[in-house]
């Protein structure tokens, strides 16, 4: 499988008179291969946006090597820009323009046939609303319009920074369906999120970042398997007696309310045999598999965020941030940021 995004040892620090030097990304590695829907997961302030901005040439890195579709970034990014669509942070559009007009302008500016406009509106489910002014759009519709703008070039790689941010449950579901349909159409998707549920539902691969460093990477189930302690939840009538019997049989066991948790057993037969031989019948024997939430908690030292943003980095003040925008590598919407690609 070919590498679509490669990041090796990326470092990026920010300097300010007030706070001195702050290392945002600290020797970070990332590998996204063709066809993956790759989740980039980390708490607020862990370095996700900075990484994506560095990858897209929007901020200069201190050191490290990055490649997008085989081209060194940012030096040769322009060569592959036509094959990459990216949205970093929430999009901003002219409220007085319709989605159709907005996309038409972007298509012309990007040298894309304007026939693509109807196609991408259809793709993101905005076909019937495309001639309405963007001012009247919901946040979810604006997000879909942003995705539509990134799809104009028919990209092989789509990079989405927190696509579910600020969306209500229905909007999140629509965004999820959209990403799935793009993946089914063969687009490689790299999406960042601090919301575990999103990653678990959409992504096949995940890279977890904490304080600017990669702390786990791989197929979602492989990352989870690495944290499997082979635990079993045991229900019996007399848990105190059962705990003594299991401990005597060499099974590490702890109490969990009126149940027991046995650890380190690939096969639970020893539990039922040991207890059954002494006339204690097992009522419940359930494997306890790690979920992404417990793995995230263990790796990042912070509780995962299910919906609301939460500040977890050690700075007191919120990060100074640039204005929000949609970035299409060679097209910017909503502000006049210079794209270095």
For ligand ATP, the binding residues (CB under 6 A) are 14, 22, 24, 42, 44-50, 194, 309, 313, 315, 319-321
* Min dist. Cβ of residue 317 to ligand ATP (A): 8
Residue nearest to ligand ATP (CB): 319
Q: How far apart are CA 197 and CA 199, in angstroms?
A: 6
Q: Which is nearer to ligand ATP, 186 or 320 (CB)?
A: 320
- The CB-of-324 to ligand ATP minimum distance in angstroms stands at 11
Cβ density class 32-70: b for 16+ within 10 Å, e for less: beebbbbbbbbbbbbbbbbbbbbbbbbbebeebebbbbe
**Residue whose CB is less far from ligand ATP, 98 or 325:** 325
Q: Which of 294, 213, 223 is nearest to 46 (CA)?
A: 213
| Residue (210 or 274) nearer to ligand ATP, CB | 210
- CB closer to ligand ATP, 14 vs 227: 14
Smallest gap from residue 20 Cβ to ligand ATP (A): 11
Q: Which is nearer to ligand ATP, 153 or 211 (CB)?
A: 211
C-beta closer to ligand ATP: residue 9 or 235: 9
Least Cβ distance, residue 315 to ligand ATP (angstroms): 5
Residues 89 and 250: their CA atoms lie apart, in Å, by 53
In whole angstroms, the minimum distance from the beta carbon of 114 to ligand ATP comes to: 34
CB of 245 to ligand ATP, least distance (A): 48
Nearer to ligand ATP, 181 or 315 (CB): 315
SS (H, E, C) 250-287: CCCEEEECCEEEECCCCCCHHHHHHHHHCCCCCCEEEE
Smallest distance, ligand ATP to C-beta of residue 140, A: 19
CA 294 from chain centre, in angstroms, equals 16
Comparing CB distances to ligand ATP, the nearer of 164 and 182 is 164
What is the token pair recorded at 338?
């210079």
CB 305, min distance to ligand ATP, A:
9
Residue among 30, 15, 20 nearest 64 (CA): 30
Two tokens, residue 276: 């059954």
Task: Tell me the DSSP string of 79-137.
Answer: HHGGGEEEE-S-----TTSBHHHHHHHHHHHHT--TTHHHHHHHHTT-GGGTTSBGGG-
The two structure tokens encoding residue 84: 């990459």
- Phi–psi pair at 188, nearest 5 degrees: -80, 130
Pairing, β 284-288 against β 231-235: antiparallel
Q: Are 223 and 295 in contact (CB under 8 A)?
A: yes
Do 57 and 73 form a contact (C-beta atoms < 8 A)?
yes
Q: Inter-axis angle of helices 269-277 and 239-248, to 10 degrees?
A: 110
Q: How far is the CB of 187 from ligand ATP (least distance, A)?
A: 22
Nearer of residues 232 and 296 to ligand ATP, judged by Cβ: 296
């Amino acid at each position: 499988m070919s590498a679509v995004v490669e990041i090796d040892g990326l470092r990026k620090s920010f300097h300010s008179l007030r706070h001195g030097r702050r290392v945002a990304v600290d020797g970070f590695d990332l590998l996204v291969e063709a066809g993956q829907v790759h989740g980039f997961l980390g708490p607020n302030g862990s370095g996700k946006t900075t990484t994506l901005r560095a990858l897209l040439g929007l901020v200069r890195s201190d050191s490290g090597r990055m490649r997008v579709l085989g081209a060194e970034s940012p030096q040769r990014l322009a060569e592959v820009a036509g094959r990459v669509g990216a949205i970093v942070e929430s999009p901003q559009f002219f409220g007085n323009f319709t989605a159709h007009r907005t996309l038409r302008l972007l298509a012309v500016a990007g040298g894309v046939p304007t026939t693509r406009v109807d196609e991408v509106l259809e793709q993101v489910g905005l076909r019937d609303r495309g001639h309405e002014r963007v001012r009247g759009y919901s946040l979810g519709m604006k997000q879909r319009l942003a995705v539509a703008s990134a799809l104009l070039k028919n990209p092989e790689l789509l990079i989405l920074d927190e696509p579910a941010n600020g969306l209500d449950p229905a909007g999140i579901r629509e965004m999820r369906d959209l990403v799935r349909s793009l993946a089914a159409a063969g687009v490689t998707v790299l999406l960042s999120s601090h919301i575990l549920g999103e990653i678990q539902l959409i992504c096949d691969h995940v890279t977890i970042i904490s304080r600017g460093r990669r702390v786990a990477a791989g197929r979602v189930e492989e990352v989870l398997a690495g944290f499997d302690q082979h635990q079993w939840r045991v229900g019996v009538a007399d848990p105190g007696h059962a705990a003594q019997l299991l401990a005597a049989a060499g099974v590490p066991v702890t109490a969990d309310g009126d149940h027991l948790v046995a650890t380190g057993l690939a096969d639970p037969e020893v539990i039922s045999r040991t207890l059954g031989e002494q006339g204690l019948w097992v009522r419940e024997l359930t494997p306890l598999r790690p979920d992404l939430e417990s793995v995230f908690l263990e790796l990042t030292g912070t509780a995962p965020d299910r919906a609301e943003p939460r500040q977890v980095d050690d700075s007191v003040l919120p990060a100074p941030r640039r204005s929000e925008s949609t970035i299409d590598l060679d097209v910017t919407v909503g502000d006049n940021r210079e794209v270095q690609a």
